[in-house]
Amino acid sequence: GHRAGPAPAAGAATNLVIHDGRLQSGYARFDPRAYLQNNYVPPRADFSSEECVVPWKLRCLAETFASGEICGRTLIDVGSGPTIYQLLSACDHFEEIVATDFLEVNREELRRWVRGEPGAFDWSPFIRHVCKIEGRG
Ligand SMILES: C[S@@+](CC[C@H](N)C(=O)[O-])C[C@H]1O[C@@H](n2cnc3c(N)ncnc32)[C@H](O)[C@@H]1O
């Protein structure tokens, strides 16, 4: 696995660990860039509409973690894919978050973002939206 510095979502000292998984043949042709393009850019990621699936998911996650019902030292996200939006509201509640995925292409996509490499997916609209719904301006 790859260990990275604090996720930038919230100031908390959360370490993100990207863990290897076992390859499952059904996902062998999974294309992270196409997946991100299909699901995490407008129209599916339209932050101006609460009816839209992405802001709805972010609100559900924010409310769930804000309730304090899910807590502990380490959060393990099974099947993170190439995405981190699902972890943003968790950062404040866990010291360590382990992102896992079967596919090296997905783990590499996450590492690109962690390292801030060129071509990394831009999660900043998601981070801004989560800050907004969590009342952090
Ligand atoms: C539909 S994608 C979800 C990606 C992302 N979490 C999202 O919200 O868009 C499911 C991912 O889970 C991975 N996966 C499925 N079963 C897994 C397992 N048992 N361990 C690790 N990764 C798994 C697949 O490689 C795929 O990337």
35 lines ligand 1 (CB under 6 A): no
Domain range spanning residue 26? 2-133
Question: Which is more confident, 67 or 21?
Answer: 67
27 Cα to the center of ligand 1, angstroms? 9
Task: Write down the pLDDT at residue 28.
Answer: 73
Question: What is the structure's pLDDT at 23?
Answer: 58
- Lowest-pLDDT range, 7-16, 18-27, 47-56, 59-68? 7-16
Name the residue with the closest Cα to ligand 1, atom 12.
79
| pLDDT tens column, 76-128 | 999 999 999 999 999 999 999 999 998 999 999 999 999 999 999 999 999 99
| Protein residue with least CA distance to atom 4, ligand 1 | 81
Closest atom of ligand 1 to 21 CA is: 21
pLDDT bucket at 11, cuts 50 / 70 / 90: low
Q: State the total domains in the chain.
A: 1
DSSP the chain: -EEEEE-TTSSS-PEEEEEE----GGGTT--HHHHHHHHSSTTTT-TT-TTSHHHHHHHHHHHHHHTT-S--SEEEETT-TT--GGGGGGGGG-SEEEEEES-HHHHHHHHHHHHT-TT----HHHHHHHHHHTT--
24 pLDDT more than 80: no
Q: What is the CATH classification number for the domain harbouring 89? A: 3.40.50.150
Q: Give residue 77 CA to ligand 1 midpoint distance, Å.
A: 9
Q: Ligand 1 test: best mutation among 87, 102, 105, most atoms within 8 Å of CB?
A: 102
Interface pTM (ipTM) of the complex?
Answer: 0.92
- What pLDDT, on a 0 to 100 scale, did the predictor assign at position 12? 59
